[in-house]
Amino acid sequence: MDTKVVTVQARGETFSYEAEQALREAGEVLRAGGLVAFPTETVYGLGGDALNPESARKIYAAKGRPSDNPLIVHIARMEDLKAIVRQVPGEALVLARAFWPGPLTMIFPKADCVPRETTGGLETVAVRMPSHPVARGLILRGGGYVAAPSANLSGRPSPTAVRYVIEDMDGRIDMILDGGEGEIGLESTIVDLTVSPPQILRPGSVTRDMLEAVLGQVSIDRTILEADSGQAPRAPGMKYRHYAPQGELTIIAGPAARVTDYINVHGAKDREQGHKVGVIGTDEALAQYRADVVRSLGSRQDEAGIARHLYGILREFDDLQVTRIYSECFEASGLGQAIMNRLLKAAGHRLIVLDAADQAGE
């Protein structure tokens, strides 16, 4: 299949003539049952008509993704919500007022018109209203309901730039809309509204504190940060070893000087054994690392920057065929909870905690 790549620039909600043409064509592709990758404010999505079971099957095939992993339905207008869910609880209205359009996904009991293929066999449906103007433009022209997982091959980091979408999806889908880089870089926060109190199934840039500020109490799925909670995560997708780089990633926590020492000593040993060693650091410590490839997520002070840069660096390490990776560790609160959730998953929960007394090389 030939995949058409088109740049779509938006100024606010208005599009150039060319952009309007491209969006209209992409909308037709969706309505005819085809697939279009598109930018959102989080990561690129791989869109198909959410009400067409055949489109859902094509999405799973293009991603190489197990079909028990449900898709998020993207809408562009509040009035479209009630057609696809059985009931809209008051909490949903409160959350929508505060965070839609934006990086928040809510889980509802599904209406009959949403096929099981879209929801991975579940009786619930995940819904999000993205804020990115290209995403909104596409949804409105594509029938109003766009099922879209992240536009990566299953097992790779979500794409934060169009070049990663092309890498993974060229030849597998009908069209790719290039709308620049995602400003957030991590997937949306998922909140389940079918339980009480509402529960966070996937942390994102809408943090627990932000949700509690408008909702009162919100719980959190224990599997989000724990390696062996003995429970299956409630968002089926979170059980897969997502976000995994090809090299073995270990996160090193502790006092900054000990962390750099540990990484340098262990990295040197790995290199003696023939490994290509990569380091995921921050601006504050970058000059001190010795490894084959050293990359910075930005300043420790800038959590949003760290979130934005993480997936691109993981992909770059794959491209450079790095076989051992060490990463600094981050506070698991606020946006840091989403960052650490993704980093721990990428590391298969390999985390080494050094205290001030540990000797490097131990």
Under the rule (CB under 6 A), what is the footprint of ligand TXA?
40, 42-43, 45, 69-72, 103, 105, 107, 119, 122, 124-126, 128, 130, 148-150, 187-188, 190, 201-202, 235-238
CB of 50 to Mg ion, least distance (A): 16
Contact at 8 Å (CB) between 10 and 134?
Answer: yes
- One-letter identity of residue 129: M
DSSP string of 28-52, one letter each residue: HHHHTT--EEE--SSS-EEEEETT-
Q: Using CB under 5 A as the criterion, what x/- string covers residues 293-332 for binding Mg ion?
A: ----------------------------------------
Compute the least distance from the CB of residue 186 to ligand TXA, in Å: 8
| Least distance from ligand TXA to the Cβ atom of residue 127, Å | 9
SS3 67: coil
8 A C-beta contact, residue 103 and residue 41: yes
Closest distance to ligand TXA from the beta carbon of 43 (Å): 5
Q: How far apart are CA 208 and CA 106, in angstroms?
A: 14
Whether 179 and 62 have beta carbons less than 8 Å apart is answered as no
Task: Name the residue whose CB lies closest to ligand TXA.
Answer: 237
**The residue type at 72:** I
C-beta closer to ligand TXA: residue 41 or 261? 41
CA-closest candidate to residue 30, choices 191, 181, 138, 184: 138
Q: Which is nearer to ligand TXA, 202 or 308 (CB)?
A: 202
Output the six-digit token pair for 187: 């997937």
Which residues in 138-177 contact Mg ion (CB under 5 A)? Answer: 150
Name the binder of 42 from ligand TXA, Mg ion, none, CB < 5-8 A by kind: ligand TXA
From the list Mg ion, ligand TXA, none, which binds 160 (C-beta under 5 to 8 Å, kind-based)?
none
Residue 179 C-beta: closest distance to ligand TXA, Å:
12
What Cα–Cα distance (Å) separates residue 300 from each residue in 285, 319, 326, 328, 344?
10, 25, 16, 10, 18
Using CB under 5 A as the binding criterion, the count of chain residues that bind Mg ion stands at: 1
Name which of 70, 40, 37 is nearest 202 in CA terms: 70
How many C-beta neighbours within 10 Å does residue 148 have?
27
Q: What minimum distance in Å lies between the beta carbon of 241 and Mg ion?
A: 12
Q: Which residues have C-beta within 8 Å of that of residue 287, sequence separation ≥ 6?
A: none
Q: Which does 259 bind (CB under 5 to 8 A by kind): ligand TXA, Mg ion, none?
A: none
Chosen from ligand TXA, Mg ion, none, partner binding at 10 (C-beta under 5 to 8 Å by type): none
Both tokens assigned to 148: 């879209």
Q: Tell me the sheet residues that pair with 105.
A: 128, 190
User: In the complex with Mg ion, which residue's Cβ is closer, 150 or 264?
Assistant: 150
Q: If contact means CB under 5 to 8 A according to the sort of partner, which of Mg ion, ligand TXA, none does residue 190 touch?
A: ligand TXA
Residue closer to ligand TXA by CB (options 22, 114) is 114
- In the complex, the smallest distance separating the C-beta of residue 347 from ligand TXA, rounded to whole angstroms, is 18
Nearer to Mg ion, 131 or 150 (CB): 150
In whole angstroms, how far apart are CA 304 and each of 41, 45, 49, 182, 341? Answer: 13, 20, 32, 12, 15
Note the residues at the interface with Mg ion (CB under 5 A). Answer: 150
